[in-house]
């Protein structure tokens, strides 16, 4: 407005003024010259003031733009902080999942150990039953004869079949235990690898956040330095007018206070970022400790596996010992069968001897009759016959003794036959009892197999359900990571746009400074 009201004089007006100066006196000319000089000085000062006002306005606009950019960066920092919190929550969820997996592995190990204890108890029961059966076999072998040898052989075959079935069950259980331990070890290794990859991702994201915060802080420091330089230039330009200097000083003080507040905020944000970095480092240390704990658990599982294998080897050794004992018993049975055969042969020989003795007795009786006939014919031979009779009487007494002994032997044999019949009846009762016990054992084994199959089916279903849940959780986590990556890309694009705007503003400020210096 001042420039419009007080425009410079035109050529016609200047000519008229020169004519008037020639006409006026010298005092008026001097005063007029002074006034014209003052007017020109005032016009120059007004022009400088207008230029200063325009520069101040442009710098205020630049400052406002810088404030807006600072606000945008603050919002970006807040969004990054929220993303960092989301990542921390994801890390906590992963740690909880790892704990749950470790607890599940512990529970499975406890179940396996309980199954091992039950299997050991069952094996001990079977071993006790085998010992009892071997004792029964020995007692039966001592008391029985040829008639029961076939039954004993059948029982031994049944026992061998039971031992073979027990061996097969032990082999199956051992294979199942090895498969379960391998699956648990593979699961632990895969989960540990996932945790390592997630830790690497978190470290990379933390480094990115740290770099972005440091870049923002450096940009703000550069802007503050540029604004301070501009303020110094304004102070130099405004030294001519005291009133304008005071107003500029007040504006500068306000700007400094605002920037000092912003600097303090940035420092507090830097401290918060450093605290978060420390928290993340502590979290990484905790994750490393958990990884070491997982490795120690895996080593303990391997040690327990080795212990289980040793137990299974001990059971196999015991089964081999049982087989060797069964072989020894078979050898003893064969020896006893051979002894029984020898005894039967001796009995047959004794019976043949008795038959021969009876034949001899009949022949002797015939001879006695012949001698009686000859006695009537030969009285001269009476003395000889009397001697023979005395000898015959002694033989008769011996034969009577033998007959009495034979009668006692027959009575003993009858008693033994009665005892054998009673033993056979007792053995039949025991065999019936044993058959009932065998049926009960078969029922228990079938029930145990059905229970084990049902428990295994339920475990397989639980494991499949847990795998599906984990797969869904992994899919959700991958979706979150994809969303975070897209968000990071958007932030990077915005940062690049802000940097381009900064470069434009910087060039504009530089041009203004060059114009002002000119």
Q: Tell me what pLDDT residue 416 has.
A: 76
Q: Tell me what pLDDT residue 16 has.
A: 46
Lowest mean pLDDT, pick from 239-243, 267-271, 494-498: 239-243
The string of DSSP codes covering 419-437 is HHHHHHHHHHHHHHHHHHH
Within 10 Å of residue 412's Cβ, how many Cβ atoms?
10
Q: Residue 63 burial by CB count (10 A; 0-12/13-18/19+): exposed, middle or buried?
A: middle
Q: Tell me what pLDDT residue 311 has.
A: 65
Q: Which residues lie below 8 Å from residue 199, measured CB to CB, with a gap of 6+?
A: 284, 287
Query: 506 or 296: whose pLDDT is higher?
Result: 296
In whole angstroms, what is the distance from residue 166 CA to residue 172 CA? 10
The length of the chain, given as a count of residues: 518
Cα 295 to Cα 100, 183, 200, 290, 310: the distances in Å are 16, 15, 19, 9, 23
Q: Tell me what pLDDT residue 157 has.
A: 65
Sign of CA dihedral 37, 38, 40, 44: positive
Among residues 403, 390, 389, 388, the alpha carbon closest in space to that of 357 is found at: 403
Q: Tell me what pLDDT residue 468 has.
A: 74
Q: Tell me what pLDDT residue 512 has.
A: 64
Q: Tell me what pLDDT residue 192 has.
A: 62
Within 10 Å of residue 263's Cβ, how many Cβ atoms?
15
Among residues 148, 40, 168, the alpha carbon closest in space to that of 445 is found at: 168
Share of the chain above pLDDT 70, in %: 32
Residue 9: DSSP 8-state: P
Q: On the CB side of 412, how many CA atoms lie within 13 Å of its CA?
A: 6
Lowest mean pLDDT, pick from 17-26, 113-122, 236-245, 416-425: 17-26
Q: Tell me what pLDDT residue 404 has.
A: 74
pLDDT class for 143, splitting at 50, 70, 90? Answer: low
Q: Tell me what pLDDT residue 398 has.
A: 76
Express each pLDDT in 210-222 by its tens digit: 677 667 667 766 7
Q: Tell me what pLDDT residue 2 has.
A: 37
Lowest mean pLDDT, pick from 12-16, 167-171, 190-194, 487-491: 12-16
In whole angstroms, what is the distance from residue 362 CA to residue 225 CA? 153
* Cβ(176)–Cβ(305) below 8 Å: no
When pLDDT is averaged across residues 166-191 and rounded to a whole number, the result is 66
Q: Tell me what pLDDT residue 385 has.
A: 59
State the angle between helix axes of 26-143 and 382-517 in degrees (0 to 180), rounded to the nearest 10: 180
Residue 380: DSSP 8-state: G
Q: Tell me what pLDDT residue 486 has.
A: 72
Domain range list for the chain? 2-352+409-517
State the angle between helix axes of 149-237 and 26-143 in degrees (0 to 180), rounded to the nearest 10: 170
Q: Tell me what pLDDT residue 448 has.
A: 73
Express each pLDDT in 16-74 by its tens digit: 444 443 343 445 556 556 666 666 666 676 666 667 667 666 766 766 676 676 667 66
Mean model confidence pLDDT for the chain: 66
Express each pLDDT in 242-290 by its tens digit: 565 566 567 666 666 766 676 677 667 667 766 766 776 676 677 667 6
pLDDT class for 12, splitting at 50, 70, 90? Answer: very low
Q: Tell me what pLDDT residue 383 has.
A: 67
141 pLDDT above the threshold of 60:
no
Q: Tell me what pLDDT residue 499 has.
A: 72
Lowest mean pLDDT, pick from 265-274, 432-441, 459-468: 265-274
Among residues 173, 127, 114, 176, the alpha carbon closest in space to that of 317 is found at: 127
Lowest mean pLDDT, pick from 20-34, 170-184, 401-415: 20-34
324 pLDDT above the threshold of 50:
yes
């Amino acid at each position: 407005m001042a420039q419009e009201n007080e425009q410079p004089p035109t050529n016609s007006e200047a000519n008229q003024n020169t004519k008037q100066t020639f006409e006026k006196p010298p005092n008026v000319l001097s005063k007029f010259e002074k006034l014209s000089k003052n007017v020109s000085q005032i016009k120059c000062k007004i022009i400088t003031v207008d230029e200063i006002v325009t520069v101040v306005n442009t710098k205020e606009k630049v400052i406002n733009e810088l404030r807006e950019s600072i606000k945008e960066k603050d919002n970006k920092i807040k969004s990054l902080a929220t993303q960092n919190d989301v990542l921390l929550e994801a890390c906590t969820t992963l740690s909880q999942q790892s704990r749950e997996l470790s607890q599940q592995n512990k529970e499975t190990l406890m179940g396996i150990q309980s199954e091992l204890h039950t299997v050991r108890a069952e094996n001990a029961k079977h071993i006790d039953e085998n010992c009892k059966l071997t004792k029964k076999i020995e007692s039966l072998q001592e008391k029985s004869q040829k008639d029961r040898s076939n039954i004993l052989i059948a029982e031994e075959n049944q026992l061998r079949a039971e031992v073979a079935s027990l061996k097969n069950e032990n082999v199956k259980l051992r294979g199942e235990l090895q498969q379960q331990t391998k699956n648990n070890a593979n699961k632990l290794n895969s989960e540990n690898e996932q945790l390592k990859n997630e830790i690497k991702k978190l470290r990379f994201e933390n480094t990115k956040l740290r770099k972005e915060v440091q870049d923002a802080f450096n940009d703000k420091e550069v802007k503050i330095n540029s604004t301070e330089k501009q303020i110094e230039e304004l102070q130099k330009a405004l030294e001519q007018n005291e009133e304008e200097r005071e107003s500029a000083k007040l504006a500068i003080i306000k700007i400094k206070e605002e920037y000092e507040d912003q600097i303090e905020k940035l420092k507090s944000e830097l401290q918060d970022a450093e605290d978060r970095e420390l928290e993340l480092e502590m979290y990484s240390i905790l994750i490393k400790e958990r990884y070491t704990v997982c490795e120690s658990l895996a080593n303990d599982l391997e040690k327990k596996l080795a212990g289980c294998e040793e137990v299974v080897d001990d059971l196999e050794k015991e089964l081999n010992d049982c087989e060797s004992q069964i072989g020894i018993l078979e050898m003893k049975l064969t020896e006893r069968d051979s002894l029984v055969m020898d005894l039967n042969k001796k009995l047959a020989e004794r019976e043949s001897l008795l038959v021969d003795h009876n034949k001899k007795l009949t022949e002797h009786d015939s001879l006695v009759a012949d001698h009686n006939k000859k006695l009537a014919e030969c009285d001269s031979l009476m003395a000889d016959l009397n001697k023979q009779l005395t000898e015959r009487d002694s033989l008769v007494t011996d034969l009577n003794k033998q007959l009495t002994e034979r009668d006692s032997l027959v009575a003993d044999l009858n008693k033994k036959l009665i005892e054998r019949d009673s033993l056979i009846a007792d053995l039949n009762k025991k065999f019936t009892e044993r058959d009932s016990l065998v049926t009960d054992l078969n029922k228990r084994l079938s029930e145990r197999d059905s229970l084990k199959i049902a428990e295994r089916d339920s475990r397989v279903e639980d494991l499949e359900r847990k795998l599906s849940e984990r797969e869904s959780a992994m899919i959700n986590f991958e979706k979150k990571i994809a969303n975070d990556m897209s968000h990071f890309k958007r932030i990077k694009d915005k940062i690049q746009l802000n940097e381009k705007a900064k470069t434009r503003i910087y060039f504009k400020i530089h041009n203004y400074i060059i114009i002002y210096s000119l």
